[in-house]
Amino acid sequence: MTKYVIALDQGTTSSRAIIFNHQGEIVNVAQKDFTQHFPEPGWVEHNPEAIWSTQLSVMQEAIAKARVREDEIAAVGITNQRETTMIWDRKTGEPIARAIVWQDRRTARYCDSLKEEHGEFIRKKTGLVIDAYFSASKVRWLLDNVEGAREKAEKGELAFGTVDSWLVWRLTEGKVHVTDPSNASRTMLFNIHTMQWDDELLELFQVPKSLLPEVKSSSEIYGYVDSRYILGGKVPIAGIAGDQQAALFGQMCTKKGMVKNTYGTGCFLLMNTGEEVVESKNNLLSTVAWKIGDKITYALEGGVFVGGAAIQWVRDGLRAIRTSDAINSLAATVEDNGGVYFVPCLAGMGAPYWDQYARGTIIGITRGTTDAHIARATLEGIALQVHDIVRAMEKDIGQETQEFRVDGGASASDLLMQIQADVFQFDIIRPKVLETTALGAAYLAGLAVGFWNSTEEISDQWQRDRSFSPEMEKEKLEKILRYWNKAVKAAQQWVEE
């Protein structure tokens, strides 16, 4: 009798493995950080081998610590940092270069050159705004800048993948090269209406079709973990979803109109739009949420590139705190931000501004400003960025948000959640299980193998931990929003070269 599902949660700064039981409860967790590489300003890279080795080791560690036998594992699900781009040799499995991470801005100028002529054409096909964030320009950069890469790619000797494809390839010892629609829809090479790799986009970005993985659904058996990694070699890999879509599923936002926000390295807000693509008039993205069986579910998305990473910067760059959690107690020592505003666009601005040349800005500093004011301004900066996305989303769908589910590491901060409720002027709901990204991958894998019978069965497991209701007076909020908008304008278009 299988008892567990394992979720591999490959994130931007760490790899994790979480074992869930049939009740959706966490049995065991293992996590390892890996090195971030910043070879030039605005460049962010990962070593694909480091991603693989940390992900493999945490999977094996979690299984060992929980004393789980291989015949007790129903399936493995994968969720991953999206858009991060890697290319490897099909014969040797060797990466041709480091992975270019989703935060990387090296292709910003090239993307700018496409906007006027191709912006609407690309948005209609992909639901995306042209930006260096997505995979297509990164693939082209690797093919053009790694010696011999384009020639090898033209001969069919190389494979491209987002992180999910890389992990499945390695877990199956090169037998399976796949992705799912939630990841494919973030490459800017995939038509979200036809659900196919698009020949016109491949031609525009000069990407050979032979590089690409096969696009399967988000919940089916793709292959089996090789016996050298889990003894027996009969454990199916059965669920794949990009991290934000996995969190939407893990939060059980399975009905049209339901919204979640994940407070991770960045903040990513998704709304389930059902079986239709909602074309945004307010600079949001239309994306595939998941495909289960023949049914495709779409979502509207807004992304903040720097959310929890702003807290990490206060810890590691500013050295105002020793641990990330300490920002809460420091910020709580002051009643307000003291007139200080922090726009934490340390990697450019995402939705709804899409400014690749914005940079982080702290404004309003006086002689009375303390580290506590900057700490509070950091938390407010995260919440206010999310606020701007929700208001854009409400304009797109023509209705006000009724319920807002939160998850991710920073959502454990009661102070941040209270600030978020104050900014929104409606309730914020936090679930008991905050690991909803991993949980979503586990649910998708479990559904594929009959570990769970239906999404209705899974929905009954979702439980709220706490709700946060607004406490701030509207006049005070209006003042904060007025100054926030001024601060955003100050941060925009900073880089000129």
Mind giving me the DSSP string for 471-496?
Answer: -S-HHHHHHHHHHHHHHHHHHTT---
Residue 302 within a domain? no
Tokens of 289: 């949420």
Spatial distance between the Cα atoms of 225 and 433, rounded to a whole number of angstroms = 27
pLDDT score, position 1: 64
What is the percent of the chain where pLDDT is above 70? 99
Q: Which helix (H) or strand (E) holds 84?
A: none
The stretch 165-193 carries a mean pLDDT of 96
Residue 372 within a domain? no
- Whether the pLDDT of residue 231 is over 80: the answer is no
Q: How far is CA 8 from CA 95, 98, 265, 407, in A?
A: 21, 21, 17, 17
* Straight-line distance from the first to the last Cα atom of the chain, in angstroms, rounded to the nearest whole number: 61
Q: DSSP secondary-structure letter at 352?
A: T
The stretch 40-68 carries a mean pLDDT of 94
**Chain centre to alpha carbon of residue 353:** 18
Residue 139 within a domain? yes
The pLDDT confidence band at residue 232, using thresholds 50, 70 and 90, is: confident
The stretch 207-217 carries a mean pLDDT of 96
Find tokens 């600030």 and name the residue: 419
User: Among 72-86, 141-155, 156-170, 387-401, which is the least confidently predicted range?
Assistant: 387-401
CA 351, 353, 358, 359: dihedral to nearest 10 degrees? Answer: -40
Task: Return the CATH number at 150.
Answer: 3.30.420.40
Residue 164 within a domain? yes
Mean pLDDT of the chain: 92
Residue 193 within a domain? yes
The stretch 142-170 carries a mean pLDDT of 96
Q: How far is CA 346 from CA 268, 320, 342, 349, in A?
A: 16, 17, 11, 8
**Buried b or exposed e, range 424-438, using 16+ CB within 10 angstroms:** bebebbbbebbbbbb
Spatial distance between the Cα atoms of 250 and 435, rounded to a whole number of angstroms = 8
Spatial distance between the Cα atoms of 101 and 164, rounded to a whole number of angstroms = 14
The stretch 285-304 carries a mean pLDDT of 93
Binding residue positions for glycerol: 82-83, 133, 243-244
Spatial distance between the Cα atoms of 11 and 406, rounded to a whole number of angstroms = 18
User: Among 312-316, 442-446, 483-487, which is the least confidently predicted range?
Assistant: 312-316
- Domain tally for the chain? 1
Binding residue positions for ADP: 12, 16, 265, 308, 409
CA 70, 242, 468, 331: dihedral to nearest 10 degrees? Answer: 100
Residue 173 within a domain? yes
Higher pLDDT among residues 472 and 350, named by residue: 472
The pLDDT confidence band at residue 496, using thresholds 50, 70 and 90, is: confident
**DSSP states of 220-233:** EEEEE--TTTSTTS
pLDDT in tens, 1-12: 679 999 999 998
Binding residue positions for ATP: 12-14, 265, 308, 312, 409
Tokens of 38: 């910043």
Spatial distance between the Cα atoms of 76 and 290, rounded to a whole number of angstroms = 17
The pLDDT confidence band at residue 301, using thresholds 50, 70 and 90, is: very high
Tokens of 77: 């699900």
Residue 37 within a domain? yes
Residue 445 within a domain? no
Spatial distance between the Cα atoms of 267 and 282, rounded to a whole number of angstroms = 18
pLDDT score, position 399: 78
What's the domain range around 89? 4-244
The stretch 405-414 carries a mean pLDDT of 89
Binding residue positions for sn-glycerol 3-phosphate: 12, 82-83, 133, 243
The pLDDT confidence band at residue 14, using thresholds 50, 70 and 90, is: very high
The pLDDT confidence band at residue 79, using thresholds 50, 70 and 90, is: very high
Spatial distance between the Cα atoms of 352 and 389, rounded to a whole number of angstroms = 6
Q: Backbone phi, then psi, for 220, in 5-degree steps?
A: -165, 165
Q: Which segments of 37-154 are extended strands (E)?
A: 45-46, 73-80, 86-89, 99-100
Spatial distance between the Cα atoms of 245 and 21, rounded to a whole number of angstroms = 21
- Whether the pLDDT of residue 69 is over 70: the answer is yes
The pLDDT confidence band at residue 258, using thresholds 50, 70 and 90, is: confident
Spatial distance between the Cα atoms of 176 and 158, rounded to a whole number of angstroms = 14
Omega of the bond leading into 236 within 30 degrees of 0 (cis): no
Binding residue positions: 12-14, 16, 82-83, 133, 243-244, 265, 308, 312, 409
pLDDT score, position 497: 62
Find tokens 């591999």 and name the residue: 8
pLDDT score, position 183: 97
| Coil vs helix vs strand at 42 | coil
